[in-house]
Amino acid sequence: MHSRTLVSLLLAILLHFKQKSAFELGTNCRNCFYSSETVNRDLVYIPELDATLEVNSKRATDYFQRPVGQMKEEIRFFEELNFKTLCFSKAKHPELNGYTSNFISDYFENPIAYPEFNTFPHIKLSMIERKYGKYVTYSERTLDIDCTHFGLTDTSTLNTSLYDLIPTLNLVHIKELSLKFCPFPDEPFQTLFSIVNVTEILSLKISDSPNKFNLSIPWNYKLDKMELINNTGLTRVDADLSQVSLLRLRRKEISSLDHDMFKQLGNLETLNMGETNISDSDLVSFQHLKNLRTLKLDNNRLVSPPSALFSNISNLYSLDMSNNNMSTLHTGEFKELTQLNYLNMRGNKLTTLEPGVFQHLTKLERLYLDHNNISELDPDIFQNLTSLKELKMNNNQLVSLSGALFNNVTNLISLDVSGNHISVLSQELFHACHRLSQLDLSHNKLKGLKENQFEFLENLEALNLSNNQLETITHGMFNGTHNIMTLDLSHNKLKSISEPEFDPCKNNKYALHSIDLSHNILELDSHLEHSPFNECKELQTLKLSNNRINKIYKDWILNMPSLATLDLKSNNITMMPNYDYGDYNNLFRSSKMILDISYNQIEVIEWRFLKLLSQRRKNKIFRNKIVLNGNPIACNCSNYDLLSAIQNLTIDKVAVLQKIAIETQNVTCKPGNISIDRVQHAVLLRDVPHLATVFTLPTTMRRQ
């Protein structure tokens, strides 16, 4: 190793443990920047090294605006600040004019916002204490080294070793070490551990190393957690892993696994080998992992895992084999996994689930079978899944669902069967699903639903029926439901609502918050003053875009105080409402609604309607918004008030627009295709010659 000239810096941070501890720091980087985001007791400012103490606490932010003298006098302020971070950077710190409190927290959340720190930090030391009263209940100390800013790409061609750039540290009590994008030199890892003097690490994470290396860890290190991610050059691991409980080996091309590879990992509880290119024959390597609780084998080449594998890891709680090449799940495949709680088989090539394949999984709560090619389900396939709470069967090839399919699945809360070819639902399908809260039937071929189809779903909160072929809303279809909050019927073929009242509003009037009926061919009775949604008193979102509606109904504006989004774009509306508004102050209406009436056929904007939306009620400040884009607004005196307000020509009109927002992007007046904000008042008068004598405009308002 090359010799190094050390510039020493002593930064004492008093921790509220049972005894004090300190960190000794040294580096050969003369222009390094040091910062401590939050400290408990001592503050140290070293001008010759351009060292600045920083904070990441809102309470401490204001404190750091005080002069240094006052800060030292009130050092006790930091007794409650328990998070500390120590950072280094090769780049010289820019001029900060003394103490600063803003850039550190912002930088960690969004480094792009501060491009001057794009080389900061490459080394981070963090300590987190969580206290309950005076007792330390949780403590974590981590050293992170990110080598992307060292300028090293291949140590074999450089005169400078990575280890020459890492500062000498005395971090005896560090528990976690993380190394990112580091090109390791051809030296034992013991050298690195000696530089930073870590002797008690329990967790080691190495990711994205660009060169070939052997990981040789001294046998006196008893690791509890090891993560080796995307290290394509890793060729060998020599370490005592007998105490490891978590091992991650993701994104590493492994040609084959030695059968005894995990033999010494008797305490391993979590193994993550996703994206490692392993196949069925490699799974025998796991036979020694009798304490394994979590196994992730996603994104590999598995075709049919041997059932004998699971007999040796029968304590498994979570199993992820998603995105492999399995086509069939055989009877008895999981019979030994009686403790299994989570099973993920998403994204395989499954076509067949043999009868009884899940019969022993009585504790299973989450089952993901989505994005496969399953076309048929045995009626008893879920018979013994009495603990199941979440089932995903979306994006398969299902044509129908047996009426008895969920008879014993009484604890089901979330069911997703979207993206299939289901055209009919059995009347008995949901009879046992009293706890079901989320139901997604979208992207199927449903043409109609029966009366009382959902009558046993009294706890249903979200129902998605979008992207089907529904033509009518059957009378009584929503009987039994009382708690639906979100209803999506968009992208169907609905033509009308047969009754004066929208069926779901009858039973869910105080629960229903969102209705989406967009992209249908819906027409509403224009002779009625109120819409079919009049009884949905708590409605917050009503989407009716891309239909054939020709009217803005009174209840949408006056009777729905919580309505925040009313989407009516791309309909056949020709005029704004002109009904009797009565006393503004006694009306119940929303104070924060976005009304989108873009791409209709509206020529005249009723000024009385705009005034209504700008009124205040019970000290509420109204800030409604109207979107007018794509309407053929008439360039005549019918819109004189609107045009005057938009062009800031009349004070009383401008006052109205200060309380509402009108979006007129790409709106042109007809005829003439004149931009709405450039219409000259002379044009208005010429369009209506017989009114020319009525208007006498001040000189300042006339335009030539």
> What pLDDT digit, counting tens, does each position of 645-697 carry?
776 655 555 566 666 777 877 777 777 677 776 665 544 544 444 443 333 33
Predicted confidence (pLDDT) per residue in 1-37, tens digit:
333 322 222 222 222 222 332 222 222 333 333 333 3
Q: What share of the chain is helix, strand, coil (3-state, %, to 5)?
A: 15, 20, 65
Per-residue confidence (pLDDT) for residue 372, from 0 to 100: 98
| Most confident range, picked from 121-125, 167-171, 257-261, 516-520 | 516-520
The percentage of residues in the chain with a pLDDT greater than 90, rounded to a whole number, is: 34
Predicted confidence (pLDDT) per residue in 296-309, tens digit:
999 999 998 777 77
Mean pLDDT of 548-564: 89
Mean pLDDT of 44-66: 33
Q: Rounded CA gap, 124 and 32, in Å?
A: 13
Q: How many CB atoms lie within 10 A of CB 59?
A: 12
Alpha-helix residue ranges (DSSP H) falling in 205-281: none
3-state SS track over 494-554: CCECCCCCCHHHHHHCCCCCEEECCCCCCECCCCCCCCCCCCCCCCCEEECCCCCCCCCCH
Among candidate residues 409, 526, 524, the one with its CA nearest the CA of residue 473: 524
Per-residue confidence (pLDDT) for residue 136, from 0 to 100: 36
Predicted confidence (pLDDT) per residue in 633-657, tens digit:
887 777 777 777 776 655 555 566 6
* Angstrom distances, CA of residue 299 to CA of 272, 296, 575: 11, 9, 56
* Angstrom distances, CA of residue 676 to CA of 64, 632, 649, 688, 699: 51, 10, 14, 18, 21
Q: Residue 690 has which token pair? A: 């017989």
Omega before residue 121 within 30° of 0, cis: yes
pLDDT of residue 159 exceeding 60: no
- Tell me the three state secondary structure of residue 39: coil
Residues in CB range of 596: below 8 A, 6 or more apart: 545, 565, 566, 567, 568, 569, 627
Per-residue confidence (pLDDT) for residue 44, from 0 to 100: 31
Q: Residue 436 has which token pair? A: 């079901």
Mean pLDDT of 527-532: 88
Per-residue confidence (pLDDT) for residue 432, from 0 to 100: 95
The percentage of residues in the chain with a pLDDT greater than 70, rounded to a whole number, is: 66
Mean pLDDT of 204-211: 87
Per-residue confidence (pLDDT) for residue 503, from 0 to 100: 80
**What global pTM score does this model have?**
0.78
* Angstrom distances, CA of residue 381 to CA of 31, 160, 363, 408, 559: 67, 63, 15, 10, 49
Per-residue confidence (pLDDT) for residue 392, from 0 to 100: 98
Between 323 and 192, where is the model more confident? Answer: 323
Among candidate residues 330, 417, 336, the one with its CA nearest the CA of residue 370: 417
Mean pLDDT of 317-324: 96
Omega before residue 305 within 30° of 0, cis: no
* 621: DSSP letter: P
Per-residue confidence (pLDDT) for residue 625, from 0 to 100: 85
Are 614 and 606 in contact by the 8 Å Cβ rule? The answer is no
DSSP E strand stretches across 315-403: 318-320, 328-329, 342-344, 352-353, 366-368, 390-392
Q: How many CB atoms lie within 10 A of CB 414?
A: 17
Q: Residue 206 has which token pair? A: 């190495």
pLDDT of residue 130 exceeding 50: no
Mean pLDDT of 325-346: 95
Are 16 and 136 in contact by the 8 Å Cβ rule? The answer is yes
pLDDT of residue 135 exceeding 60: no
- Tell me the three state secondary structure of residue 113: helix
* 24: DSSP letter: E
Are 437 and 416 in contact by the 8 Å Cβ rule? The answer is no
* Angstrom distances, CA of residue 620 to CA of 565, 592, 593: 18, 10, 13
Predicted confidence (pLDDT) per residue in 558-616, tens digit:
888 889 999 999 999 998 877 665 544 445 466 678 999 999 998 888 777 777 776 65
Q: Rounded CA gap, 118 and 165, in Å?
A: 18
Between 616 and 85, where is the model more confident? Answer: 616
Mean pLDDT of all residues belonging to the chain = 73
Predicted confidence (pLDDT) per residue in 404-423, tens digit:
999 999 999 999 999 999 99
Per-residue confidence (pLDDT) for residue 617, from 0 to 100: 53
Q: Rounded CA gap, 398 and 385, in Å?
A: 20
Are 627 and 598 in contact by the 8 Å Cβ rule? The answer is yes
Per-residue confidence (pLDDT) for residue 22, from 0 to 100: 26
Cα 315 to chain centroid distance, Å, stands at: 32
Per-residue confidence (pLDDT) for residue 660, from 0 to 100: 75
- Please provide residue 24's backbone torsions phi and psi, each rounded to the nearest 5 degrees: -100, 130
| Single-letter code of the amino acid located at 461 | E
Buried b (16+ CB within 10 A) or exposed e, 227-250: bbbbbeebeeeebebebbbbbbbb
pLDDT of residue 102 exceeding 60: no
Q: Rounded CA gap, 220 and 198, in Å?
A: 12
Predicted confidence (pLDDT) per residue in 341-373, tens digit:
999 999 999 999 999 999 999 999 999 999 999
Per-residue confidence (pLDDT) for residue 423, from 0 to 100: 95
* 232: DSSP letter: T
